[in-house]
Amino acid sequence: MFKYLPHTKKDIEEMLKVIDVNSIDDLFLEIPEELKKLDLNFPNGLSELEIYDKFNILANKNKNLIPFVGAGAYDHYTPSVIKHLIGRQEFLTAYTPYQPEISQGTLQYIFEYQSIIAELTNMHVSNASMYDGATATAEAMFMATNVRKRTKILISKTVNPNIVNVVKTYAKYRGFTVDFVDEKNGITDIDDFRKNNSKEYAGIIVQNPNYYGIIEDLSDFREILDDSKGLLIINSDPSSLALLKSPGEYGADIAVGDCQTLGIPLSFGGPYIGYLATTKKLMRKMPGRICGVTEDTDGKRAFVLTLQAREQHIRREKANSNICSNQSLMALFVTVYTAVMGKQGLVEAQQKSFNATHYLYEQILKLDKFSEVYKQPFFKDCLVKSDIDSEIINEKLLEKGILGPLNLGKYDKSKNNLLLFSATEKRSKKDIDLLVSILEVL
């Protein structure tokens, strides 16, 4: 017997009698014999105590560091209540709400999540979630190319290179072309955009705050796109939208991004959650699940998956996206985070992250060996140029348990020793002063 396998010998015998076979192996007779000769190289099972020992050893091979880097994954505070609520079996162990009468819990939080995303982005409608911010951006490209029946898309050079890579991969196999718009002084070069934009392009993908943490003013983008009837796709950190001008206010057609910044632990890159929101006009062109309001036969308000005619299980080869499972439980995570942090807390956490990053930036620039790269407003990532090799810096910081900045040279050799730091509301003045004191003596 084994704890996850409840059948006793007697159960098995009784069941086999009903099926009218002699043994369980008789249920596998149609499988060719030569395929069934397995000898797996695999250890025997471990008890719970042994499992804990094993994973304690594995965890000890890691080292927890204090991050002073963001670049797509930020160390924000996670209120305690979240893990208790999202760990409830009613949420955790359910599947996609195919039977709405017994899935009102899942459907309601999806509706609340969609509402929160719509509010932060100022867009008409959000879907129930995407895998991550990068794949959400790729899906936005698919939406734009489908809506405009064009096969090319523009992307700004100030977009995070991981997002660019994912968009390029998705585009390549479907036969779409991704062309870059240049950057100038750390932001999208609007003149280059104006010059290269044409009716061949389904639209442009920009990121705000961008890869360098710089807050771009996107006010002129809509007008340029109106000439070419291209779509404006803005990738934003949703937490920044508690303070910053939203994609909707810039006239975006599609807003995407990663909700990791809404309290989701770093957990080595995932699970996070992508969001995708759009206008009323494009609602029926969205990928993924959408929850809507309806009534039951007694006239009671209820929630249900809606506009499903867009999706793969109905449209099959005619669907524009293949997404089925998304990141539903992480949508609940984001919803509970937003509920407990609330209107004030979202602003406070982001303002404090903004303050910490700016204090850090000021202190670093006081040091001889570090200098400013761009004179631009930034949010919670900041870029500095270092005269010292980044490997030496990060090694020294590591000795003190600090995760140092991202060297942009990792993705672009010409940007070697341009260092991207970040600080959140979790970083104290003391932490920052310690970091600066280490840099000072290098």
Partner 1 sequence: MYYDKLIFEISNSGRKGYSLPDFGISNYEIPKDLLRKEEAILPEVSELEAVRHYTNVSFKNFGIEKGFYPLGSCTMKYNPKINEDISSMPGFNLHPYQPISTIQGSLEIYYETQRILSELSGLHTFSLNPYAGAHGELVGLMIMQKYHQDREDFKRTKVIVPDSAHGTNPASAVVAGFESIEVKSNPDGTVNVESLKELLSDEVAGIMLTNPNTAGIFEKEICEIAELVHDAGGLLYYDGANLNPILGVVRPGDMGFDIMHINLHKTFSTPHGGGGPGSGPVGVVEHLVKYLPTPVVKKVNNEYIIEDENDTAIGQISHFYGNYGVVIKAYTYLLSIGKENFANVGKHSVLNANYIKESLKDLYLLPIKGVCKHEFVFDGLIDKSNHVTTLDVAKRLLDYDVHPPTIYFPLTVKEALMIEPTETESKVAIDSFIEVMRKVAIEAKEDPDLVKGAPYNTVVKRLDEAQAARKPIVKYRDLLT
Question: Please, which of residues 380-409 interact with partner 1 by CB under 8 A?
Answer: 394, 398, 403, 406
Q: Which residue has the tokens 């880097």?
A: 69
Task: Tell which one of 24, 223, 229, 412 touches partner 1 (CB under 8 A).
Answer: 24
**Two tokens at 160?**
């995070």
Write the secondary structure of 141-188 as one string of H (helix), E (strand) and C (coil).
HHHHHHHHCCCEEEEECCCCHHHHHHHHHHHHHHCCEEEEECEECCEE
Q: What are the Cα distances from residue 437, in Å, to 168, 432, 433?
A: 41, 9, 6
- Smallest separation (angstroms) from partner 1 to the CB of 228: 25
Q: Is 415 one of the binding residues for partner 1 (CB under 8 A)?
A: no
Binding residue for partner 1 (CB under 8 A) from 16, 224, 367, 388?
16
**421 is a contact residue toward partner 1 (CB under 8 A):** no
Show contacts with partner 1 in window 98-127 (CB under 8 A): 98-106, 108-109, 111-112, 114-116, 118-120, 122, 124-126
**How far is 418 from 387, CA to CA, in rounded Å?**
9
Pick out residues in 205-234 that bind partner 1 (CB under 8 A): 215, 217
- Pick 28 or 199: Cβ nearer partner 1: 28
Q: Which is nearer to partner 1, 228 or 328 (CB)?
A: 328
User: Site size for partner 1, by CB under 8 A?
Assistant: 205
Q: Which two tokens stand for residue 308?
A: 């499903």
Report the residue from 84, 149, 375, 413 that binds partner 1 according to the rule CB under 8 A: 84
Contact call for residue 30 and partner 1 (CB under 8 A)? yes
Candidates 223, 282, 229; CA nearest to 255 is: 282
> In the bound complex, what is the minimum distance in angstroms from residue 143's beta carbon to partner 1?
12
Closer to partner 1 at the Cβ: 11 or 191? Answer: 11
For residue 38, state whether it binds partner 1 (rule: CB under 8 A): yes
Q: How far apart are CA 288 and CA 369, in angstroms?
A: 49
Q: Which of 189, 224, 266, 385 binds partner 1 (CB under 8 A)?
A: 266
Q: Which is nearer to partner 1, 228 or 382 (CB)?
A: 382
Over the window 244 to 263, marking each residue x when it contacts partner 1 by CB under 8 A and - when it does not, the resulting string is: xxx-xx--------x-----
How long a stretch of residues is the chain? 442
**Non-local CB neighbours of 112 within 8 Å, separated by 6+ positions:** 335, 339
- Site residues for partner 1, window 302-361 (CB under 8 A)? 302, 304, 306-309, 311-330, 332, 335-336, 338-346, 348-349, 351-352, 354-356, 358-359
Residue 228 or residue 327: which is nearer to partner 1 going by CB? 327
Q: Which two tokens stand for residue 136?
A: 């959400």
Distance CA 424, CA 437 (A): 19
CA 269 to chain centre: 9
Q: For residue 173, what are the contacts with CB-CB under 8 A and spacing of at least 6? A: none
